[in-house]
Structure 1
Amino acid sequence: MLKALRLLGILFSAATIILVIIFFRGEDQVIMSWTMLGMCGALIFNGGATYFKTKDKMAALSLIVGIVLLIFSLTQFPF
């Protein structure tokens, strides 16, 4: 379970980096919204993996911030 969470966090982080590079080359609003979703996924999965491993409060904060940003980005950005 922990390895799956960590792997998903790494994949979302890599996708976010790739999408940011594409965004800076084309300046497209849809790419920006997908970048926000990738960042939220990275925060959620990396925070969750760290929290389940160490029960750290900062990891829980990362998980909560990821969820709040996900809700905000789903309501604000066009897809």
Structure 2
Amino acid sequence: MEDIVIATNNQGKINDFKAIFKNQNVIGISELIEDFDVEETGATFEENARLKSEAAAHALNKRVIADDSGLEVFA
């Protein structure tokens, strides 16, 4: 079975993915690429997640999942 690589250094997000994919091996990007960091220049959370997943997938030649989120406050 193929490992699931998560393009994040955030242990909380990695734990969330491990809870979702209980029967598979979930690996955080830091286990495969030291100091992985992508400049989040996207205009949306989706664009930033895409930037991270594409950069990691290109570096590893593997499929990668990424997540980006944040707090939005409308005043």
Question: Shared fold by TM > 0.5?
Answer: no
In terms of fraction of residues, the more strand-rich structure is 2
**TM-score, length-normalised on structure 2?**
0.30
In terms of fraction of residues, the more helix-rich structure is 1
